[in-house]
Amino acid sequence: MNTKHGGINFTFEVFLLAANLRLAIIGIPPIVTKVQSYFQLTTAQTGVLTTIPLLCFGFLSVATAPVIRKLGTKQTISYALLMLAIANLLRTYVAWGMFVGTIFVGAGITMLNVSLPALIVERHPEQSAKLNGVYTASINLISAIVGGIAVPVANAIGWQFTVQLFSIPAILAFLGTMLLPHQRTKQSKQSTKTAAGKSLTPIWKRGHVWLLAIFMGLQSLTFYTVVAWLPSVLTSHGLSATTAGWLFSIFQIIGAPFAYLVPRATTSAAHLKSLMIALLAGYLAGIGILIAFNATWLLIIACMIVGITTASVFTLSLTMITTISTTPQEAGSVGGIVQSIGYLIASIGPTMFGVIKTTLGNWPQTLIVLIAIAVVNIAVGFLLIRVVRKNRFVY
């Protein structure tokens, strides 16, 4: 189906929006030493910069749904993009501006995180699998590109100008949002009936929403723990920091094609079960290799497997938000609850595993704990499949 209706191509607009969902966050860690030196920040203050966005995701996601109901999805997205564009400019001049700007970056991305699934359900629910794939694949692709080019660009033009460049995708997405046609009000009788039937129970009382929130939280905790500590794990195997950096880039980019394909597996319970088994195998194999082997070629394979697995489970989490939602408003509310709980759980991961590593004294034993959490994540996933099938979201 053609997703253009008198304005910008909707698939391209989803790509533009998704390009902003990690850009302003992923772009900072590679150049953080330059930022720290310029503003004379302590290590603790620098760590706060990476924690702020996750806390915004956790505390503000649930507050975005009422904003969407009051302003509409399109207008909420427009405000979020303007906030992002201005915040990236604010972050480059003074230390307090970096912190305040990062708070607004976190708030803007939070609004986009919740609004984009709602926009997909609102505009093209029949294309949700494809569009969710574009959405999550774009996040992985842009994150990998930015992570790879941030340092050379900052070396060439300065870190301040590099951070200001992050405003350009937000401005482009804002212009694209302005070109979106007015919301279609036509809704099928079957869809209306389904929405009415399922809206009798408040969202926060629905068991499958809480299961999805826990599933989202455990996969996010696993992912952000890997993001925080994978380079350290690799160097503990004897790799140089440069080689570890390249493997970290592979970890981030390898999942993009799979992120695009995974939403197709949400069309039936049988496909979901097969996907869940594959994800379990991916966690066990990828993290298992990181525990047991030192050979560089095996570590490359491990990074690829873990990259594919984490990208796929993240995509599945986001896709399930639209799968269990029958209206755009419901998608916003479900997304708000799921992402708030999910990112609050995720925010403890990097610090918790740092403490575990310090306590146990080595990475292999620490990674066994991570495997245990990943197994619980998949167990919750199987339970979620059973519940959503019982509620006839999938068959």
Range 199-208, long-range pairs (CB < 8 A, 24+ positions)? 199/326, 199/327, 199/330, 203/330, 203/333, 203/334, 203/337, 204/337, 207/387, 208/324, 208/384, 208/387, 208/388, 208/391, 208/393
pLDDT digits (tens, 9 = 90+) for 266-283: 778 888 899 999 999 999
List, for residues 41-75, the tens digit of each pLDDT value.
887 787 778 778 888 988 998 888 899 889 999 99
Q: Are 316 and 134 in contact (CB under 8 A)?
A: no
pLDDT digits (tens, 9 = 90+) for 337-358: 898 888 889 888 888 888 898 8
Within 13 Å, how many C-alpha atoms sit on residue 341's CB side?
Answer: 17
| CA-wise closest residue to 233 among 302, 311, 309 | 302
Read off the pTM: 0.79
Q: What is the pLDDT of residues 90-114, one digit of tens each?
A: 898 898 999 999 999 999 999 999 8
Higher pLDDT, 195 or 359: 359
Distance CA 323, CA 75 (A): 24
Give 276's DSSP letter: H
Question: Residue 379 CA to chain centroid, in angstroms?
Answer: 21
pLDDT above 70 covers a percentage of the chain that reads 92
- By three-state DSSP, how is residue 210 classified? helix
The residue among 285, 283, 307, 304 whose CA lies nearest residue 379 is 283
Q: Domain 10-182 sits in which CATH superfamily?
A: MFS general substrate transporter like domains (1.20.1250.20)
Q: What is the pLDDT of residue 194?
A: 46
Rounded average pLDDT over 295-315:
94
How remote is the C-alpha of 210 from its chain's centroid? 18
The pLDDT value recorded for residue 321 is 86
Q: What is the model's pLDDT at position 205?
A: 75
**Domain residue limits, the chain:** 10-182, 197-390
Is it true that 10-182 and 197-390 share their CATH fold? yes
Q: Answer yes or no: are the C-beta atoms of 191 and 326 closer than 8 Å.
A: yes
What pLDDT was estimated at residue 287? 96
**Among 65, 184, 120, 57, CA closest to 323:** 120
Would you say how long the chain is, in residues?
A: 395
Class level of CATH domain 197-390? mainly alpha
For 182-200, what is each residue's pLDDT tens digit?
A: 765 444 444 444 444 445 6
Structure tokens at 192: 């209306």
110-161 pLDDT, tens digit per residue, is 999 989 988 988 888 888 778 888 888 888 888 878 877 888 888 899 999 9
Please tell me the predicted confidence (pLDDT) of residue 200: 60
Average pLDDT over residues 248-261: 84
Please state, in angstroms and as integers, the Cα–Cα distance from residue 62 to each residue in 98, 108, 213, 342, following that order: 25, 13, 12, 11
